[in-house]
Amino acid sequence: MKEPRYTTGFWRGFFVGGVTLVLLGLLWQAVSQPPPAYAQIPDSGAQRQRMIKEMVTTNSKLTEIADLLKQVRDQGAEGAPAKKP
């Protein structure tokens, strides 16, 4: 005896929907994982030397700025009238 047509269509749709969900899950898993990193191991000694060099440069620039600000402050103090106590 043959099953009614509406039940066969229901199970076929159920099967197609299940397969679609599984395929979408597999695709999402493949897309969502980042690729492995194949970079070289960084040279920590060279990185540290570079950081020290940059800090020395930054400190010298900050010293120059501080000296310029002191000059401006001193020039402003010379030109301003004396404050009354």
Q: In terms of residue numbers, what domain contains 5?
A: 1-32
pTM, full prediction: 0.42
Least confident of 2-6, 7-11, 20-24, 43-47: 2-6
Looking at the structure, tell me whether residues 24 and 51 fall in a common domain: no
In a domain, 68, yes or no: yes
| Per-residue pLDDT reduced to its tens digit, 9-34 | 778 888 999 999 999 998 888 777 77
Number of structural domains (the chain) is 2
Coil, strand or helix at 80? coil
Looking at the structure, tell me whether residues 28 and 50 fall in a common domain: no
Looking at the structure, tell me whether residues 26 and 51 fall in a common domain: no
In a domain, 85, yes or no: no
Distance between CA atoms of 13 and 3, rounded to whole angstroms? 16
38: confidence class by pLDDT, cuts 50, 70, 90: confident
Looking at the structure, tell me whether residues 53 and 28 fall in a common domain: no
39: confidence class by pLDDT, cuts 50, 70, 90: confident
